[in-house]
Structure 1
Amino acid sequence: MSSYDYASKLELKEAIHASYLLFDNEFQEIDESLKDTRIAEVDKTPAEMIAYQLGWLDWVDTLSHEELFTQGIHKWTGTNPNWPMARWIHINSVAPFKTFRAKIRKWKKYNVQH
């Protein structure tokens, strides 16, 4: 089973939430006064990273099972049967949380050194 294959809306939401908790744990260590600090080594500030991720769970709640798991309900998902909306949501929520976790660690490491 691929990392983006979910049996239900609940399973998708749990994956998003689990990734969020890991990211949030990293974010908690950042002083509020530094959250908008940009560094050359990381392409987004901590505030930009969290802003990108907000809202995914609420949005998933508004979608039906059919919208999430049936290809083509929304035209923007394309025609490939392997790309239902749940997969699009995965690559725009679960996957970025993992990427942003690495970026925020790099951001924190750089800020501690300087």
Structure 2
Amino acid sequence: MRHYASGEELIAEIRKRADLFIAEFDDVPASGLHLLKDGVDRAPARMLAYQLGWMDLLLGWEQDERAGRQAVTPAPDYRWNRLGGLYSSFYEQWQDAPLSRLQEAFRERVDGVVDLVGSLSPEELFTPGRRAWASSTPSSWPVAKWVHINTVAPFTSFRTKIRVWKRR
């Protein structure tokens, strides 16, 4: 994982990768939104639903902790070693949304994650153990790593997937 010197640097990378990723959908036709193509494991709508689902979880974990509730990770009724059902729930939640709504929701969630990062002190962001939800796995990652692996990393890898999808 990339090391970030500050919350501002992480925010800049989130914005950059989010903008590049979401721009790839500007020329996806509505007729192709749910079309699976050879060599790509998700249709465009599912790529976006996946991103939305993980950002919703991330924001929800923090919201629960701030409200004094114990965050359930990854989500109630799901385990880290069995995420297929969780992914299916993401897809089901967004299956009827048009591309414009998916793009709008994506931008809203990115703004939420940016607000979250901006609200945390460097210690809360970069020191393991500062959030109970971030310590919910044996790794006990800092919040910054959780944010990176649920935003920057998949925005980058899924950008490659949507580009391959468009070429097929």
User: Do both proteins adopt the same fold according to a TM-score greater than 0.5, normalized to the shorter chain?
Assistant: yes
1:38 matched residue in structure 2: 36
2:145 matched residue in structure 1: 87
2:48 matched residue in structure 1: 50
Which of 69, 84, 87 lines up with 2:126 in the alignment? 69
- Superposed displacement of residue 84, structure 1: 0.7
5+ unaligned residues in a row in structure 1: which ranges?
none
- Superposed displacement of residue 109, structure 1: 1.3
Matched, 1:16 2:14: yes
For residues 47 and 38 of structure 1, the distance between their equivalents in structure 2, rounded to whole angstroms, comes to 10
- The answer as to whether partners of 1:23 and 1:100 remain within 8 angstroms in 2 is yes
1:29 matched residue in structure 2: 27
| RMSD over aligned Cα atoms | 2.2
For residues 60 and 73 of structure 1, the distance between their equivalents in structure 2, rounded to whole angstroms, comes to 18
Which amino acid in 1 is paired with 2:134? T
Deviations 1:76-100 (A, max 9, x none): 323757x311011101110111111
Paired-residue identity, %: 43
For residues 22 and 60 of structure 1, the distance between their equivalents in structure 2, rounded to whole angstroms, comes to 16
Total equivalences in the alignment: 107
For residues 77 and 94 of structure 1, the distance between their equivalents in structure 2, rounded to whole angstroms, comes to 17
TM-score, with normalisation over the residues of structure 1? 0.76
- The answer as to whether partners of 2:14 and 2:114 remain within 8 angstroms in 1 is no
